[in-house]
Structure 1
Amino acid sequence: MFKAVVTDLDGTLLNAEHKVSEFTRETVELLLQKGIKFYIATGRNYSGAKEAMNELGVKIPLITSNGARIIDENGNEIFSNNLKREYLDKILDIDYKSFGQNIIITGYSGSNWFVTEDLREYFYNKKPDRTRYPKQITFEEFKRNDFTKIFFIGEKHDELLNLENEIKKAVGEKNISILFASEGSLEIFPVDCSKVKAAKIVLERDGLTLKEAVSFGDGLNDYGLIAETGLGFAMGNSIYLLLEKLTDTEVIDSNANDGMAKKVRELFDL
């Protein structure tokens, strides 16, 4: 009998408009009423994850920055780990604009979200009702901060693939975690952090194990979670890089069709 659900947000729990559908909200409510634990594990920072939690109308632990920071249900930090300074400096020394003039760098520093360009129009086009934007600072200011996660946003996947190879050469693939959460988002965070390691922390805190949990995701940052929990599912809208690694995993309906909530209702007879 599974006793917990761990889910990604964007592309998984949230619909195509990055919102919580009424069907999903009701599903989570029914799940909690049945005594099943529910956790969010996202690449977002705390404020972004909290926004989704508030839409659900619940108070739950939030695994953020791909597992580099965990905030409990009361808003207290229970785990945090920054990228090592020596590796961060090497990454920031790379002329990332040489791989594509439209590539943007942004990052999470504690509860802050920083960017070096004015992205209000960029994010408005993706989500017109957005109320949360990154704070624009200079690149020199950006370089002085510590980060749980930095990421490069771009419209051309092949440009980001080339940048990924350059970062791996400069830093060493074993010294950082670098992956695509989506084709347009190349994410970098501490090598010893992941969603599945963070999930293990919060599950054990509640007397549970990974094998007692069901998980859902759509990005490569969800691979470990889906592979190591008792039962894992990939969304129908998952990035190809994830599906290539999860050849024996069930692929469910897309986030646009409430695929995660539908499967939860089926599994837990809600």
Structure 2
Amino acid sequence: MKLFITDIDDTLSIGEAVADEVREACSRLRSAGWEIMVATGRTYSTARGHMEAIGVTRPSILYNGGRIVDPVGRPLYSRLMEENLANRILEYVWTLPLELQVSGDERISCRETDTQTRSFFANLGPIRLVTEPVVTEPVFRICLWMESRLMPEVEKDLRERFGREAEICPGGPQFMDIQPLGVSKGSALDRLLAELPTRPEVIVAAGDHCNDRELLRRADVAASPSNAHEALLREADLIIPPVSEHGIRALIDHILSPAFATAPFAAPGRRL
């Protein structure tokens, strides 16, 4: 078995449409005997279109590792945030100059003033508006959206206050993810691999930001777009074109080439 895993946002696609070139490349990859899965911070309802577009064949990772679902969306594993911790985090960030996005069981909660969150999910899934920093439903992760200049200070404060109880990880240039301790795309992949009779012959993973780091570290071949976070670029085996130039297609072209067949792990930092 050979396994290909990709992040969605800014790796597989920009927004909701997967390019035809990428769809076709994934079809060729499946025909060559590869298994495909996604690893994303999204809910199933917002990831479903992408999963169908590339034809996932294996369980996929949602909520940045908080949930694993089979190819048709049936939950196989879930890890929720402890309610008291979620309430304390919400209380702390409630008055900060940022937007909230609380991921529940296939439902997003936010405030009336969280316009970016409301705009993104307007046509993608149900939104529950909240008026006080108290959770009333299960929570997989709390995501914060803010001006990029605020990210370092907010991350530092969150780590000082909650770093022993939760994972604090930038999920994009303006996104900060907060999840239960030990939850990551990498730990979710560990769980999936532990259930297989043998480890895949080769694992190729692609991602663009810090919340992909643990996933890529577990892959035999780690690929990142050329505009990815610098931490990933320093560790990537392959640097692929940005998503606007269909980097996943370039990666798959390489995977299916004779060069990859003869030396899949060679030349760290190689640009495709």
Query: Normalising to structure 1: TM-score of the pair?
Result: 0.85
Shift of 1:225: 1.3
Is 1:12–1:235's contact at 8 Å kept on the other side of the alignment? yes
Report what 1:168 is aligned to: 159
Alignment of 1:1-270 (within 5 A): 3-14=2-13, 16-58=14-56, 60-98=58-96, 100=97, 103-117=98-112, 124=119, 131-140=123-132, 143-154=135-146, 156-171=147-162, 173-209=163-199, 212-243=202-233, 246-247=234-235, 249-269=237-257
Shift of 1:247: 4.1
| Shift in alpha-carbon separation, 1:72–1:120, aligned structure 2, 3 A | same
The 10-residue stretch of structure 1 (195-204 or 231-240) with the greater mean CA deviation from structure 2: 195-204
SS of equivalent residue, structure 2 residue 182? coil
Residue-by-residue CA offset, 1:5-38 (whole Å, 9 max, x unaligned)? 0110001111x34420001101111111221110
Is 1:213–1:229's contact at 8 Å kept on the other side of the alignment? yes
Q: Hey, what's the Cα distance between the residues in 2 that align with 1:108 and 1:187?
A: 11
Shift of 1:217: 0.2
Residue-by-residue CA offset, 1:67-98 (whole Å, 9 max, x unaligned)? 11011123221110011223222211214433
Q: Hey, what's the Cα distance between the residues in 1 that align with 2:235 and 2:60?
A: 29
Q: Hey, what's the Cα distance between the residues in 1 that align with 2:103 and 2:223?
A: 27
Is 1:23–1:261's contact at 8 Å kept on the other side of the alignment? yes
For 1:157, the aligned partner's letter is S
Is 2:38–2:60's contact at 8 Å kept on the other side of the alignment? yes
SS of equivalent residue, structure 1 residue 215? strand
Residue-by-residue CA offset, 1:193-232 (whole Å, 9 max, x unaligned)? 1111212333444545367210000010111111221111
Residue-by-residue CA offset, 1:103-161 (whole Å, 9 max, x unaligned)? 1111111111221225567665x79xx7215513123375222211110012x112232
Q: Hey, what's the Cα distance between the residues in 1 that align with 2:189 and 2:197?
A: 12
Is 2:226–2:240's contact at 8 Å kept on the other side of the alignment? yes
| Shift in alpha-carbon separation, 1:110–1:211, aligned structure 2, 3 A | farther
| Shift in alpha-carbon separation, 1:251–1:120, aligned structure 2, 3 A | same
Q: Which runs of 5+ in 2 are unaligned?
A: 259-272
| Shift in alpha-carbon separation, 1:24–1:208, aligned structure 2, 3 A | farther
Q: Hey, what's the Cα distance between the residues in 1 that align with 2:85 and 2:116?
A: 31
SS of equivalent residue, structure 1 residue 9? coil
In terms of fraction of residues, the more helix-rich structure is 1
**Structure with the greater relative contact order (CA < 8 A, sep ≥ 6): 1 or 2?**
1
The RMSD of aligned alpha carbons is 2.6
Pairs aligned (count):
258
Is 1:160–1:186's contact at 8 Å kept on the other side of the alignment? yes
Is 1:210–1:228's contact at 8 Å kept on the other side of the alignment? no
Q: Which runs of 5+ in 1 are unaligned?
A: none
The 10-residue stretch of structure 1 (158-167 or 2-11) with the greater mean CA deviation from structure 2: 158-167
Residue-by-residue CA offset, 1:218-250 (whole Å, 9 max, x unaligned)? 01011111122111111112123433xx34643
Is 2:99–2:116's contact at 8 Å kept on the other side of the alignment? no
